[in-house]
Structure 1
Amino acid sequence: MNQEHITATLSQINGKGLEATFTLGEVALENAQKLAELHYEASKDALVNTQESMKQVLAAKDPKQVTEMLGTDALQAAGNQVAAYQKKVTQVIRNGNKQLSQTVEANIDHMQAGLQDWVDTLTANAPTGSDAFVSSFKTVYGSVMQGYEQFRAVSKEAFVNAEKSADQAINAVQGQIAQVKKAATPATRTRKAA
């Protein structure tokens, strides 16, 4: 094996790594765009709802009507909108994580296969008497492969933690909505009874 072949093989491996980096960047950009669109739509809906509520408040004839308009139903509707938005955000995060995870996995597998092929070819063509060099080279290669596996494990854990955080955020929002509804229900009943 000559120097040109070694260089070409390493260049090919690096080229695939660069392609994977671009793919990861594209996936991240697509997900950022989806999140921005969701945020824009949610902001627009909130503004429209606020304007409609303000029109109703201004058209009210007495304070009791205003209190009823801003009661449990209005809070619940707002809470439902927040929960729906959070679910959409979570779905975008999950889909993005899935795409990123698949890309990382494929890149790690490709890098490992490429390096393994390169090492096998290099060590098979090693000159006689270079056993000590080949042995130390294989040891270094084994350490590189362990690094890839550690990166794979850390990546998986990061994706799982991102999904857990999204789930916890949804649960927190839903819990807050339930608390507001529970707290507002007795007050609404008291007003209606009066």
Structure 2
Amino acid sequence: MTGDEGGATRSRRPLRADARRNEDRLLEAAAAAFERDGAGASVKDIARSAGVGVGTLYRRFPSKELLVAAIYRLEVRRLCEAAPDLAATRPPLDALREWMERFIDFMAAKDGMADALRAVLTDDDERLETRAVLADAIDHLLTPAEGPSVARPEINAQDVLMALGGISLMAGAEGRRELATRLIDLLLHGIVKT
């Protein structure tokens, strides 16, 4: 991901602790608003939910597109950071399944931001880097640091990521979250060594 997790790419110094907290609250409120209201989410409502003024929101994110891009980057980072935590605290297959479920939820949350995200995702470098870090997270789960791999040797993380993307599209088009879980089970049967 290019730039930082905030708004536009910046070369400014790191945020003070209070400014970081404001930005985190803004991103949380914005993510919830876009998930709930889609692209029509109100910037004023987002600022109010975050407990900051609209001016603070616009200073950090001068456009709705920059706000959406920041949310997207934050969610990708959180998803990737979850992989080592899950691998350290759960049996390998459970960790992989939980991460896959989180990926589906991440993809579903993006639906409300789809129009604004198109601008972010048309950047080939950003899209390829996002795909690479997500595949790295999957690879971390397929080949845990301790113990044997849970996956068959011919399985690679990029293919798993593409399959998860397909599951997300199918379940989303059908409006059936439970379908994604059933398809994840099928995918896991194809991945796991027997």
TM-score normalised to structure 2 length: 0.30
Larger radius of gyration: 1
Between 1 and 2, higher relative CO (CA 8 Å, sep ≥ 6) is seen in 1
Which has the larger helix fraction? 1
TM-score normalised to structure 1 length: 0.30
